[in-house]
Structure 1
Amino acid sequence: DVHPLTEGLRLVVMKRLQYDRQTREERVGPVLMGNISVAGPYDRQKPAADRLCEEIFQGKRKREREESFARVRPCLHSLFVQRQASLTEKVQKLRDEYKTLHGRWMVHCAKLDEVAKAAALEEAAATAGRTTRRSAAMGDAVRTDLEMEQIIASLGNDELTDANHLASKNAATIPDMISVTKGSIDYSYDDTNNVVEDLANFYTPNTCLEDWTEEEKEIFLEKYALYPKQFGII
């Protein structure tokens, strides 16, 4: 029995030996003519600009792009809807968590205020009955113009130092934080304003001694030895 691979190789070698006598043009010519006859007519003229633009923006390519957009649009829409729903759910969860923690913090602050109020009442009870010039001057009744001016000045100082009063006028609208849904941030802002590349050169104190020559340094030391700290003469 003859092996199929051996028989195939023998046929290839025999065919190659038969066509070795032909030239390259004789072998390539029939194949090239067959391809030319099968292929359609080729327009060698360069298309005009209007024709090219019309073919790209209004022809077959435009229809193909519109079809691809129509196929991709539902998928993108569903992805955006899912992302927005996940983001909304996470924001609501964070708000609920903040409300819970804020409520606990307010309860804790109320307990601390009660403790401080009890201590203040004990101190007031201990000092009850003693009236000094300072406590009499700071009562509810205003007796002189000086006391009125002092109270008005104290109210102005309170407005300048009260955090709640200042925040009511200078409150900033803080946007929501970037919500991370998959454990990493997809985008970030790289601020390169006033960036320092060479830290050693930037923070090294500039003494200008590097600009002096060795001869100038020797002259300065000699003059300084003759006239200590008299830089005008030096």
Structure 2
Amino acid sequence: MPVRGGQPLDGNIQASTWNKVESFFDGEGTSYKGVDALPLDSRCSVLNIKNSSGVNLLRGQILSWSSVVYNHSYDSTEYWRRPTLQGKLPAFPQDAEKIAVLQEPIKNGEIGLAAVGGITPAVVDIKKVGDAYAYLGDSANNLISSTSGDAKILQAEGGLGPQFCLVSLGTSQHFWQVSVIGGGSAALLGMSGEPTGIFVTVLDPLAMFTDLKSGSRAFVKQVGSEFYYIQAPCITGV
């Protein structure tokens, strides 16, 4: 039971210390031990990020980043003590693997916490029920669901549209489908052929796919911010 200051205790224990210990163990018997009890660093990698997107953002929305606010040569103390990313609006595909999910609301120009890896709730715009992955859309403030992407959707609330989902950052599926336009350009599609509204340059270093015509479909693999042809239907009459 709690004690008052000056009340005698066995050994050299202060009353305030005793009360803190007792309060801790009382809570151990009654507090909820589910997800809410997990510290952030046990389920995801969290860093500080400065919101330089130009808009105020809410918890669960996303930023990408360009650099750090304090590099080692400018301020080595802050670089080690409090590494802080310079956040910005995402640009796909160059920022495809740079997903930062805000763990708290961050006003434009201010610094807050963001998850850059691991498992975290995030706002995902669900385009098709059952989509297993999400990608970072161009200039979007939330992830977008697809059959490919850099975040695996572990759970969704249900239905279509923006909603909180549980995602695993860095658990990726980097195979996509494309619709060839020409000159190396293609419209990016999910593996099931669903449109993304994104246009990319696809590389063909061995010149194996030069016979692909406009409108042809092919499979590509994303490597960082680049896309490479890996398979296409056989072209008849060649």
TM-score, L = length of structure 2? 0.14
**Which one has the bigger helix percentage?**
1
**Which one has the bigger strand percentage?**
2
Radius of gyration: which is bigger? 1
